[in-house]
Amino acid sequence: MPRKSPLVIGHRGAPGYRPEHSRSSYELAFAMGVDAVEPDVVATGDGVLVVRHENEISGTTDVAEHPEFADRKTTKRVDGEAITGWFTEDFTWAELATLRCRERLPKVRPSSASFDGGQPILRLTDLLDLVRAASVEHGREIGVVLEVKHATYFASIGIDLVPLIDRDLRAAGWADGELPLIVESFESTVLGRLRERGIRASYIYLIEASGRPYDLAVAQGRHALSYRATVAPRGLDGLVGSVDGVSVDRKMLLARGNTIVEDAHARGLKVFTWTCRPENAFLAADFRGAGDKGDFGDYESEWRVIADTGVDGVFVDHPDLGVGFFRS
């Protein structure tokens, strides 16, 4: 990745301004100067990797408005949670290609919602080609931070994401280390399997503020190491040699007295954080301002606390604000 600190990563593109994971969201992020963009990947029933935040797509597409797909609505248990809606694995790519993107948070981001219905879903290969072309157009190296979603769940229904990711990265020329690639997941087992396949990337373990990773919970039950224990000194010791760093919920870096970045750096591990957003709806209580959830609060003060930890990368929804703040 480019040697800047911290890296500014367009979280699903520029979703503060355009529906997340849409082509225009990514193109705006490129134009606003991000170091990298972050696509999430899930799979269709016929083995195509698509760029969606979740495999349940009612909140980010117009699937509910398609009467031909009404009978696909169902309830499933994903990572232990019952979810009702429409799921990518119940569609072919040809069917998903008929859907259009929409804003996931229309009440918070009504301006972004004004772009609903205009853009199709992207495949992972589409996004990789967009990033390569944007690097040429903008005259700088732009990276990809690929998030693997729900690998254990997909494996349980007979869809192994690992060979699909391997296939697409190699086909698009992103597997050999020539282009800046980071692979991340809340499940460390899928990171290990991708590394074993020789995909040359940095591997980052995503960390929630609470709970346990689903893959380890399935395998080890209550003995599975919690996320919080994973970023304690002993937990970080166990990560050395298996991953290149962690990406933590920003609330963990805002907690008084935390030493996550210091402890990780002492072990040669990088630390990223997610997600830096300016709206009151997302800011910690001390930094919220007057107005509605969609109004901006004192985000710069919150981001200053995060920057002062020495973090190596930040995920942002508003790339212009992120680049302007973290590059100043």
- In which domain, by residue range, is 45 found? 7-326
Q: What is the pTM of this model?
A: 0.96
Is 76 inside a domain boundary? Answer: yes
What is residue 66's predicted lDDT score, i.e. its pLDDT? 98
Is 2 inside a domain boundary? Answer: no
What is residue 4's predicted lDDT score, i.e. its pLDDT? 54
> What is the domain-level CATH number for residue 62?
3.20.20.190
Q: Identity (one letter) of the amino acid at 292? A: D
Question: What is the dihedral sign for C-alpha 234, 145, 297, 320?
Answer: positive
Other C-beta atoms within 10 Å of 116: how many? 16
Total number of domains in the chain: 1
- Calculate the alpha carbon distances from 157 to 2, 89, 121, 194, 281 in Å: 38, 9, 23, 19, 35
Is 84 inside a domain boundary? Answer: yes
Low-confidence ranges of the chain (pLDDT < 70): 1-4
What is residue 185's predicted lDDT score, i.e. its pLDDT? 98
Task: Please give the structure tokens belonging to residue 227.
Answer: 């996320």
What is residue 210's predicted lDDT score, i.e. its pLDDT? 96
What is residue 236's predicted lDDT score, i.e. its pLDDT? 98
Question: What does the alpha-carbon distance between residue 56 and residue 75 come to, in Å, rounded to a whole number?
Answer: 10
What is residue 2's predicted lDDT score, i.e. its pLDDT? 40
Is 227 inside a domain boundary? Answer: yes
Task: Please give the structure tokens belonging to residue 189.
Answer: 């087992």
Question: What does the alpha-carbon distance between residue 226 and residue 203 come to, in Å, rounded to a whole number?
Answer: 19
What is residue 5's predicted lDDT score, i.e. its pLDDT? 79
What is residue 71's predicted lDDT score, i.e. its pLDDT? 98
Is 290 inside a domain boundary? Answer: yes
Is 61 inside a domain boundary? Answer: yes
Is 1 inside a domain boundary? Answer: no
Is 310 inside a domain boundary? Answer: yes
